[in-house]
Copies of this chain bind each other. A is one copy, B any other.
Amino acid sequence: MRLYDSLISGNSYKCRLLLHQLGIPFERVDVDILKGESRTAEFLRKNPNGRTPLLEYESGEYLAESNAIMWFLSEGTPFQPESRLGRAQALQWMFFEQYSHEPNIATARFWIQHFELDEAKRRALADKTKQGHAALGVMEQHLAREPFFVEGRYGIADIALYAYTHVADEGGFDLAGYPAVRAWLERVQSQPRHIPITHA
């Protein structure tokens, strides 16, 4: 298997971390998204949506979208819930992550780390900050009662939400007001075979 990967992308990190924890060997291809390498004609033939991560499996076919890739990799492993309801709950949190969390927290981080912000972007950032805190509040409420997101056990929903939450400070989010989220971050970091986002 081959992973088209970017070290500045939390979405790519999700797949790299899961592959590592599952012990699946893979070839890593670095894609420099800041230099437009995910939008070249050659890359768009692999993923018409022009994004990393992208998984190429043995058959030469491609799978895009970080959470779909994690679903594929985790089927039949302890990282995916065994019950029908558990699977749906994992997907609920993964869709929450892509709709309510990532577009706010990850995008704020990306803008702050890699762009000069003009007036329009600063106004948009204020809105993303507000929406990002709303998402963190929803997580805090759940994690105040539960050790992990689904069925009390570490799995793909935790990886999906960990990817950008643990670097939320780089997007201007202070986690001081979210003690349950901070305790959960530590539980995720203490899982066997954990690797940091900087680990290629």
Contacts and interface: CB of A to CB of B under 8 A. Distances in A.
Contact of A65 (B49, B92, B102): B92
Contacts of A87: 71-72, 75
Mostly helix, strand, loop or mixed at chain A's interface?
A: helix
A41 to B, nearest CB: 13
Integer count of this chain's copies in the complex:
2
A35 interface: no
A119 to B, nearest CB: 10
Interface string A36-80: 000000000000110000000000010111111101100100000
Interface residues of A, number: 35
Interface stretch (A21-29, A93-101, A168-176, A187-195): A93-101
A97 to B, nearest CB: 10
Contact of A89 (B63, B75, B98, B141): B63
Interface of A: 48-49, 61, 63-69, 71-72, 75, 84-85, 87-89, 91-92, 94-96, 98-100, 102-103, 120, 123-124, 137-138, 141-142
Contacts of A84: 72, 75
Given A63-B85, A68-B91, A71-B87, 15 more contacts: A49-B96, A49-B138, A63-B88, A64-B92, A66-B95, A67-B91, A68-B88, A68-B95, A71-B88, A75-B84, A91-B91, A94-B95, A99-B99, A99-B103, A103-B103
